[in-house]
């Protein structure tokens, strides 16, 4: 008898009992290659002794002290480490227990920031269709993931949505080689339509993960958003919950374009899967407004900033640095991308491969020339992910929804520790799986 209410009640969930490196084992002895780091979480791999010991050492000292009365040594250390890896001007950190909580924090911070500045009409936050910012009602209302939104409508108001930066299926029918960043201009038009005096923030996943399967914007896009935010006194929130802390081959994905957001949300990479942890790093200028104003930011969570999660976060960052994993990530990513390009040339059903570092997406199409999608009733993304699991390979199914219902994509995103031999193993099984599903 199983008492758990699983996300899919019609499926059986293997019971995982062991993890080591890029591998997991279930209670029947079956071995899985974690080629998506769970959900781009286990960035340093499973079973890292240094992190386990750091958590244990902290547990022995003190496991919890409520944030309304106390700070603690580990959270101070973690803040310093986060600031060290963040772009310059980012100098303060707030904590949460995961990605959605981090996004909620950023949302409320943006609203309060303008209240503190005496501009209370600036409260709307712009996001984009086909984005994903989390599953709490606020973060979901912000998200443009139609498939996830549909069952919870009506969602919360005042989150205007702009078109995404999705070069493979441009909303403006442009080819990225000759476009004028119409997708960025579209955000500016939305700002003007809503009135800049009503906009607090624009939130962007620098590389769109779970909904679009690693869609990378054209060079200049994020710079455009930065300038737009400066022009209209709007906060630029980078949702780096998935991309942050090494996943794309840089500390943060915005670093690829040398863009400095006002607020950075992070969670998956910083926890590495070892403890529930999220963080929101902000510019000193935001902190100053609160400090000179009411001096209060009452928003927060009971478990935010607890010393055990902080110990995990510190040890994860140390491990990434000590083993040069972010640098290695860029190289391993290039290797995988080359191999995926070869598969794309070989098979008519692969329309696009994309990504940066170890965050790669493969989009499947019925017709390569027209980019026609497969019939959504075939449920191909799910079939690929299920078949891969059967073969002992974990892939991330992107909830790709060109029009809310169509499109198939998966992400390949193994831990940053992945070796060349392991990459070859991943590609071999992946090829078998897609051949089985499509041929
Ligand atoms: N933002 C982004 C960009 C994400 O990818 C996710 C998780 N997929 C979230 C927010 C939500 O994070 P969590 O599931 O930890 O709440």
Of 90, 57, 96, 46, which Cα lies nearest the Cα of 75?
A: 96
User: Residue 203 Cα, ligand 1 centroid: separation in angstroms?
Assistant: 13
Q: Which atom of ligand 1 is nearest to the CA of 268?
A: 15
Q: How high is the pLDDT of residue 1?
A: 62
Task: Name which residue sits closest to atom 15 of ligand 1, judged by CA.
Answer: 99
What angle, rounded to 10 degrees, do the helices at 49-61 and 307-322 form?
150
Q: Is there a contact between 242 and 210 (Cβ–Cβ < 8 Å)?
A: yes
Task: Round the CA-based radius of gyration of the chain to a whole number and report it.
Answer: 21
User: Which residue puts its alpha carbon closest to atom 1 of ligand 1?
Assistant: 133
Question: pLDDT tens across 70-115, in order?
Answer: 999 999 999 999 999 999 999 999 999 999 999 999 999 999 999 9
Q: Is the CB of 116 under 6 A from ligand 1?
A: no
Structure tokens at 292: 């000179």
Count CB neighbours of 291 within 10 A. Answer: 12
The per-residue pLDDT for range 212-221, each reduced to its tens digit, is 999 999 999 9
224-253: average pLDDT = 98
Tokens of 181: 């960043």
Q: What are phi and psi of 364, to 5 degrees?
A: -100, 140
Task: Give kind and range of the element (H or E) at residue 235.
Answer: strand 235-239
pLDDT at 241: 98
Cβ(99) – ligand 1 distance below 6 Å: yes
Answer yes or no: is the ipTM higher than 0.95.
Answer: yes
Distance 240 CA to ligand 1 centre (A): 9
Angle between helix 325-346 and 420-438 (nearest 10)? 30
Q: Is 132 in the pocket of ligand 1 (CB under 6 A)?
A: yes
User: Is residue 213 helix, strand or coil?
Assistant: coil
Report the SS3 class of residue 433.
Answer: helix
For ligand 1, whether the C-beta of 210 sits within 6 Å is yes
How many other C-beta atoms lie within 10 A of the C-beta of residue 165? 31
Integer CA distances (angstroms), 324 to 80, 246, 416, in order:
19, 10, 10
CA 178 to ligand 1 centroid distance, Å: 32
Mean pLDDT for 184-204 is 98
| pLDDT tens digits, one per residue of 386-429 | 999 999 999 999 976 645 567 899 999 999 999 999 999 999 99
Out of 106, 125, 134, give the residue to mutate to test ligand 1, the one with the largest number of ligand atoms within 8 Å of its CB: 134
**Closest residue (by CA) to atom 14 of ligand 1?**
99
**Domain architecture of the chain: domains with CATH:** 16-47+324-438 (3.90.1150.10), 50-322 (3.40.640.10)
Match 């989009």 to its residue by tokens.
Answer: 363
Distance of CA 159 from the midpoint of ligand 1 (Å): 18
pLDDT, tens digit, 9 for 90 and up, residues 330-357: 999 999 999 999 999 999 999 999 999 9
What does each C-alpha distance from 379 to 53, 282, 437 come to in angstroms? 43, 40, 11
pTM of the model: 0.98
């Amino acid at each position: 008898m199983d008492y758990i209410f699983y996300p899919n009640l019609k499926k059986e969930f293997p019971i995982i009992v062991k993890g080591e490196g890029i591998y997991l084992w279930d209670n029947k002895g079956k071995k899985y290659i974690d080629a998506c780091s769970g959900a781009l979480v286990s960035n340093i791999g499973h079973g890292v002794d240094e992190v386990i010991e750091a958590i244990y050492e902290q547990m022995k000292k003190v496991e919890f002290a409520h944030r309304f009365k106390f700070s603690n040594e580990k959270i101070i250390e973690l803040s310093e480490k986060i600031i060290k890896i963040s772009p310059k001007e980012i100098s303060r950190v707030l904590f949460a227990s995961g990605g959605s909580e981090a996004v909620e924090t950023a949302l409320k911070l943006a609203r309060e920031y303008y209240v503190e500045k005496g501009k209370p009409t600036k409260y709307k936050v712009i996001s984009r269709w086909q984005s994903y910012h989390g599953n709490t009602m606020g973060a979901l209302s912000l998200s443009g993931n139609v498939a996830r939104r549909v069952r919870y409508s009506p969602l919360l108001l005042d989150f205007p949505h702009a078109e995404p930066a999705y070069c493979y299926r441009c909303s403006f029918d442009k080819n990225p080689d000759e476009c004028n960043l119409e997708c960025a201009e579209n955000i500016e038009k939305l700002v003007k339509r809503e009135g800049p005096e009503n906009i607090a923030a624009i939130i962007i996943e620098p590389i769109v993960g779970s909904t679009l399967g690693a869609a990378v914007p054209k060079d200049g896009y994020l710079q455009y958003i930065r300038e737009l935010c400066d022009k209209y006194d709007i906060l630029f929130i980078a949702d780096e919950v998935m991309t942050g802390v090494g996943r794309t081959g840089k500390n943060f994905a915005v670093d690829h374009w040398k863009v400095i957001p006002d607020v950075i949300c992070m969670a998956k990479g910083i926890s590495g899967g070892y403890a529930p942890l999220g963080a929101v790093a902000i510019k000193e200028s935001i902190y100053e407004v609160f400090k000179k104003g009411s001096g209060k930011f009452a928003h927060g969570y009971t478990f935010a900033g607890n010393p055990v999660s902080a110990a995990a976060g510190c040890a994860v960052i140390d491990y990434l640095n000590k083993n040069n994993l972010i640098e290695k990530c860029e190289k391993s990513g290039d290797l995988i991308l080359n191999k995926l390009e070869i598969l794309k040339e070989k098979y008519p059903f692969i329309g696009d491969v994309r990504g940066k570092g170890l965050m790669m997406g493969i989009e499947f199409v019925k017709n390569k020339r027209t980019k026609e999608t497969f019939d959504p009733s075939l449920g191909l993304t799910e079939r690929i992910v299920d078949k891969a699991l059967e073969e002992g390979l974990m892939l991330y199914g992107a909830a790709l929804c060109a029009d809310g219902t169509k499109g198939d994509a998966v992400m390949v995103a193994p831990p940053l520790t992945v070796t060349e031999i392991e990459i070859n193993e991943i590609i071999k099984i992946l090829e078998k799986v897609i051949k089985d599903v499509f041929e």
